[in-house]
Structure 1
Amino acid sequence: MSRLARQASEDDDGGLSRDALSLYSRMLRGELTQRRDEPGLEELLDVGLVVPNIFEDDLYLIADPFQVWRYQSNREREVLAASLRRLRSIETLFSQLPVRIAQGDSGVSYLASKDEANGEIIKALSKASRSIRTAHPVPRPHSAMQKSLPRDIDLLERGLKLATIYGEEARGREVESEWAREVTRRGAEVRTLQGRFRRIVLIDESLAIIGDHTRTQPAKAGWKVEHDGLIAFISELYEDQWKRAEPWLGGDEQAPSAGVTTPMTRKILIELARGRKLAAIAHELGVSTRTLTNHLTPLYERLGLEPGDQFGLGYWYATFDERRASAAG
């Protein structure tokens, strides 16, 4: 390493010593230097401002300072370029690795895979003492449901409260239907929710497993949360999803309706009665406006309203006793 590089690594200002400057000034005035132990000479040689005379031993000459400056500058640029290349290669390397994200004592831990998340859930369930609340927007594999049923029955027999939310389409799948029938018979509460909602596993109001929403890691990654403030927020989010969901006892039947409405139309009518537009409701439920219109068409006909009279539907629902059915869920 050159003296300039050593100085840079030691946070030096890169300047010459007083001895080196004094010697260089004398050599500029024509003084010959023959002693290798001359104070400051080694420094000037290292920088390149002074070079040995190839024709006479123990005699040193001043080099062209412009050439020295250009050489040293180019060399340092090459060093910097090499360092930048190494830095980019390091960033590329670690961006490709499924590394654990360190969180220290923040109460949040990164889970790099589905297996790791399931391991944390099983470990927490073995110690649970009060309640288990889960939300599953994506269908669970048949094998997972088979393993889950005896475990969930055991939790209920231990006296824990169990609440679960599935997507509305679960009502048409036998695996989820059988699970729902068995656990609700033993006191669990199961509901289904139309549209998009968040995957949450909340245990004893002290630990939560949620999906990874940073989208920088594999889709099956997630987070283990034990921070009190974040647990309170996740619990509130779960409660909001629970209130919007419809009770389900298992089987492929739809939730009971008080009369002319269905679970889906009641969701729409509640929002229409609040003055919201159909497009905004569709976006919130994760479906198209056309899908909502298809749900409402039978109501227009049955109530004698003009197709598309959203105000009329909202007014009817706001003043009709059937609205109590949705509030009761």
Structure 2
Amino acid sequence: MAGLQPEDRELFEDEATSLYEQILAEGGLAADDSRLAGTTPVRRAFDLLTELGLLQLDETRKTWRPVEPSNAQSRVVTPLGTEGARLIDESARWAKAFSNLTQSWRRSPAATESGPFLYLHGEAISPYLTAIIGDAETELLTAQPQTTRSAKTVAEGAVRDVAALKRGISMRTIYQHSARRHPATHKYVADVTRHGAEVRTLDEFFNRMIVVDRRVALIPAADSLATAVVVREPAIVAYLVDVFERAFARGRPFASGEQKVMKEIATEQRSMTMRMLIEGHADAVSAKRLGVSARTYAGYVAELKDEYDAETRFQLGYIMGQRGIAGQETSGG
């Protein structure tokens, strides 16, 4: 049925459905019912019911009678479903046309003339990222060092990445160990691994990076987290891929033997906390390196103080130095 708008559906849900059920219970509605006068909500609901063919006038009794809804439903829903399918097909055709155009641009001199680097700022980053992942043909490599992303951002990433995986794109991701304590990341990992992605975690800090088809990389700018750099220089992209491969080889599978792995990870984070203390890093820097909050890092330090019977951080560092501890140990001192 042509002409129906979202506000018509809202009126149908809020007012017309109740009126229809009331008329059904009463066996009809008199044509001269006072509630139909003027432009009241009841009158608007009544007009919609008659437009949809859910009420029919009994001329003999001058009464509006309810009509079985299935015919009206098919007149409303079937065209909408047909139009939805048409729009989805049209959207796919436009996407394919743009994809072909993009491939032509990449092969043209214009792509080279635009330079191997592109700086993106603020809100421009997410649409660009969605576009290049949508254009991926074979592989996605991603490194996500921190778990400060909101649940909404992680969920949006899951939708985007699962769509790529369903197209047959292979995907490998590295997180820091702290991601294992982030519920939204757990759900994301469950979603993408179900579709074939591989996810591992590391104890060490690394910068965020996304590499698409080993031809384009997205990395943060050195001076601003709100700026990203798109890299298309083949030698630099190859170098970044090599860095990723080495890190991924050292990572631990996200959900393999989780209880045992979590114990090993706790040991690795303990050792890294020691290294941060021995090297004299500030708490904020150390927390970032471990991918945890400053409060969590302070808890790690407090545990080491208790373990080594130290009252201050200075004393803790002195005791570890006296015992020759270098932060590479795999068990308690």
Taking structure 1 as the reference length, what is the TM-score of the superposition? 0.48
Q: State the structure with more CA Rg.
A: 1
Taking structure 2 as the reference length, what is the TM-score of the superposition? 0.47
